Chain A
Amino acid sequence: ELKVEQNPLFLSMQEGKNYTIYCNYSTTSDRLYWYRQDPGKSLESLFVLLSNGAVKQEGRLMASLDTKARLSTLHITAAVHDLSATYFCAVDDNFGNEKLTFGTGTRLTIIP
């Protein structure tokens, strides 16, 4: 059974600082996704990582995937208040049917 762990679960950081969210998973997979959720809203896709060594960047966010270590990171550079949200990673279980197992999420709060 695929397990996906994120840490930290809660993160409070000051504007302008850098930080990293970690996503570990328990079985082999080469497809990993990052989503963002604002309070009371749905999830929106941030990054799709489809191979070992994949790196994607969008603004102050950068995601990477190491399939050998079964680890993905979401790095935040020079945080701004607008990045406050809950971030989820999700991993394809590779058994077909495109099923994703989600981490528990990281609630990020950016403090001015």
Chain B
Amino acid sequence: DAGITQSPRHKVTETGTPVTLRCHQTENHRYMYWYRQDPGHGLRLIHYSYGVKDTDKGEVSDGYSVSRSKTEDFLLTLESATSSQTSVYFCAISGGEGDYGYTFGSGTRLTVV
């Protein structure tokens, strides 16, 4: 039983269109994160949330927005997709105790053409 799921798993979209990725958790964890993974860069933090309606920017937040209206869902929106946003996006959750680190979702492979 996966405690965290991402949707969609794959998406191809056109430049200039808005795109929303969804992260859903069943662990009731306080913290949720969106990272992007690109070759040579490891994982870079886009946005994170520390509670319902509480979000903050990460190191690569330009062109992205997030929302968290309930504990279990964290949405990432690309307001107007660009080719530089082609990437693999991972959602992660943390219970906040530091003892276990993150649990990651399966990832979303997004291609902007």
Main secondary structure of the interface of A (DSSP, over half): strand
What's the Cα separation between A69 and B44 when bound, in Å? 24
What's the Cα separation between A83 and B47 when bound, in Å? 32
For A41, list chain B residues within 8 Å (CB). 106
B98 contacts A97, C-beta separation under 8 Å? no
A42 CB, min distance to chain B CBs, angstroms? 5
Instruction: Tell me which of A33, A88, A98, A104 has the highest count of chain B C-beta atoms within 10 A of its own C-beta.
Output: A98
For A102, list chain B residues within 8 Å (CB). 35, 42-44
For A100, list chain B residues within 8 Å (CB). 33, 45, 101-102
B48 contacts A45, C-beta separation under 8 Å? no
Which B residues fall within an 8 A CB radius of A?
Answer: 31, 33, 35, 40-45, 48, 50, 56, 58, 90, 94, 96, 98-107
18 more A-B residue pairs beyond the given contacts A33-B101, A43-B104, A99-B48, with a C-beta to C-beta distance below 8 A:
A31-B98, A42-B90, A43-B90, A45-B100, A45-B101, A50-B98, A88-B43, A92-B98, A97-B31, A98-B96, A98-B98, A99-B33, A99-B45, A100-B45, A102-B43, A102-B44, A104-B41, A104-B42
